Amino acid sequence: MTPEENFSPALVSVVVPTHARPELVRRAIDSILAQDHPGEIEVIVVFDRAEPDESLRRTAPGRTVEVITNTRTPGLAGARNSGILASRGSLVAFLDDDDWWRPTKLRRQVEEYDAELNRTGVAPHLVTCSIAVDFEGRITPRTAGTTRVTLGDLTRSRMSMLHSSGLLFDRAALLDHIGLVDEEVPGSQNEDWDLLLRSVKVGDIVHVDEALVVVTWGAASFFTRTWDTKISSLHWMMERHPEIEQDRKGAGRVYGQISFGEASRPDRRAAVRWAGKALVKDPLQWRAYVGLAVAARLLTPAQVLNLLHKAGRGV
């Protein structure tokens, strides 16, 4: 039976990629099953480069857990796509295995999905929500201050509160108009920003500005990559989405991030060069100054990241 033949319009499918973190993935699954959303929920746990844990399977009225393996490109993007293609619901959500949902998350997003459909006659292709960052037990809310997200918002800022664990897609729009997660993004870094930009080019994103997802930052994140990959993914993003470079503040932000990454590699000359490019675009771009400070060895990358993460922010 194909996914289309097994499709259920009353169902929400939640894709949970995982590797080998049994306690964390169980917490993630439990948070989905505890949702106060009145409709049916299907959880699809996708094991990437690891033996699937069949004990996670559950069958209960309105709540099921399926276990599959990543049959596509190894890594986060391929795992998500494997789950999307195996999904049966009209709505598809993502949840990383080290994050978890607050009980009202899914209900609030579906309410806003239905409200937009009733108001305009057109189903929104994507509904997002804000997050709370958990860094070493310290919880910091990150909200957007808006209920709609435009292309200009996402070129000017990454809008990190629009985290992959808070995305809820109309499945038809995802498959037919937006497209699957790009499996060629270097190291699956920034693949969620790429997906957001592709989504917003279809139309504005409906946003629930409540911290309904708790996102874990720190050493536990399995999908963290090296600075080489982070820098490569930023260059890839600018090539893929020229709108970023056309936005002075957006370009300054990305150049500042590259400067910090080069300083952390470390490549001091490259860090200074990219800091200069950032400041030409945006003289107030703080990431450029931080990149210069790390290049001059006045600060270490760890000091910078720890300070930012405690405030629920990143570079």
- pLDDT tens-place string over residues 35-83: 999 999 999 999 998 899 999 999 888 999 999 999 999 999 999 999 9
Q: What value, to the nearest 5°, has the Cα angle with vertex 276 and ends 304 and 281?
A: 100
pTM of this structure: 0.91
Tokens read off for 154: 């996402």
Residue 2 predicted with pLDDT over 70: no
CA 167 to chain centre: 7
Give the position of tokens 């922010």. 313
What is the reported pLDDT for 206?
Answer: 98
Closest by CA to 103, choosing from 32, 38, 43, is: 32
What is the reported pLDDT for 9?
Answer: 56
10 burial via Cβ count (<10 Å: 0-12, 13-18, 19+)? exposed
Residue 89 predicted with pLDDT over 50: yes
Q: What percent of the chain has pLDDT over 90?
A: 80
Identify the structural domains of the chain with CATH numbers, from first to last: 8-217 (3.90.550.10), 247-310 (no CATH)
Give dist(CA 78, CA 71) in Å, integer: 8
- The DSSP bridge pattern shows strands 89-94 and 148-149 to be unpaired
Residue 7 is given by DSSP the state -
Which has the minimum average pLDDT: 6-20, 67-81, 271-285? 6-20
Give dist(CA 254, CA 97) in Å, integer: 27
Residue 223 predicted with pLDDT over 90: no
> pLDDT per residue over 142-170, tens digit each?
999 999 999 999 999 999 999 999 999 99
> In this structure, what is the dihedral angle of CA atoms 44, 101, 192, 259, given to the nearest 10 degrees?
-140
SS3 303: helix
Confidence of residue 231 (pLDDT cuts 50, 70, 90): very high
Give dist(CA 86, CA 67) in Å, integer: 10
Confidence of residue 311 (pLDDT cuts 50, 70, 90): confident
38 burial via Cβ count (<10 Å: 0-12, 13-18, 19+)? exposed
Residue 220 predicted with pLDDT over 50: no
